């Protein structure tokens, strides 16, 4: 719609004061939220033992998980019957990958948070959805590829990234069709299918061979 008016607000979702102040302004400007999309996040690539200090470890969790929870909490007074909430998680929320331990932890948390919230809001007629895509062609992925260690690029089972427009269109169509978990990427769908069809021990072995592992002499201390 060429006549639509877009208003933007900027804040650090990991900063409680900034997030509170932003929502004070939003509540002053609007009386409801029809479609809340929780998409803010960062992807850090490091083995857990390679992080410099505890602050670096918790920073990723604060942005990717606590920022999503906080944004949802502050949105609750503005959500009414017929509203929708969409969380953008990741395939790595379903399968933990070496080098993405903190990212996978946060994204798995989002999936379970969304599942619990869906049940909390059933009687309010507020729909909750969570998308678990594989790689999407975005600036964040480009940044990942620039800093990705050589062992992660070798033998990676990750598929060709989806175009951002294609991924967004697929996810939004599934939201309209009331799908809770939305998986737009074939590689993630394949791994989910394996988990359904095969014993856990066997699927774990397969995924261990599909996703790259750090070399045996990697310093994990």
Q: Which residues contact 77 (CB under 8 A, 6 or more apart)?
A: 27
Q: Which long-range contacts (CB under 8 A, 24 or more apart) does 207-214 make?
A: 207/95, 210/157, 211/95, 211/97, 211/98, 211/156, 211/157, 212/97, 212/98, 212/99, 212/151, 212/152, 212/153, 212/154, 212/155, 212/156, 212/157, 213/98, 213/151, 214/47, 214/98, 214/99, 214/149, 214/151
**At residue 33, what are phi and psi to the nearest 5 degrees?**
-120, 120
Give the tokens for residue 149. Answer: 């260690």
Catalytic residue selected from 30, 73, 103, 170:
103
- 103 catalytic per annotation: yes
Instruction: Cite the active site residues.
Output: 103
């Amino acid at each position: 719609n060429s006549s639509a008016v877009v208003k933007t607000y900027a804040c650090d979702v990991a900063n409680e004061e900034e997030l509170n102040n932003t929502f004070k302004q939003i509540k002053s400007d609007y009386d409801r939220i029809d479609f809340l999309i929780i998409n803010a996040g960062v992807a850090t690539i490091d083995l857990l033992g390679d992080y410099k200090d505890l602050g670096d470890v918790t920073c990723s969790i604060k942005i990717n998980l606590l920022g999503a929870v906080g944004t949802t909490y502050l949105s609750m007074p503005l959500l009414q019957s017929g509203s929708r909430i969409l969380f953008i998680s990741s395939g790595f929320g379903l399968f933990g990958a070496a080098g993405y331990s903190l990212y996978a932890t946060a994204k798995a948390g989002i999936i379970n948070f969304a599942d619990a919230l869906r049940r909390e809001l059933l009687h309010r007629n507020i729909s909750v959805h969570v998308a678990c895509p594989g790689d999407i062609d975005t600036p964040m992925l480009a940044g990942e590829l620039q800093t990705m260690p050589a062992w992660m690029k070798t033998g990676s089972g990750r598929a060709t990234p989806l175009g951002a427009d294609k991924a967004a269109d697929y996810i939004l169509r599934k939201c309209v069709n009331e799908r809770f978990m939305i998986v737009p990427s074939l590689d993630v769908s394949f791994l989910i299918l394996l988990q359904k069809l095969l014993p856990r021990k066997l699927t774990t072995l397969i995924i261990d061979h599909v996703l790259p592992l750090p070399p045996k002499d990697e310093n994990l201390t």
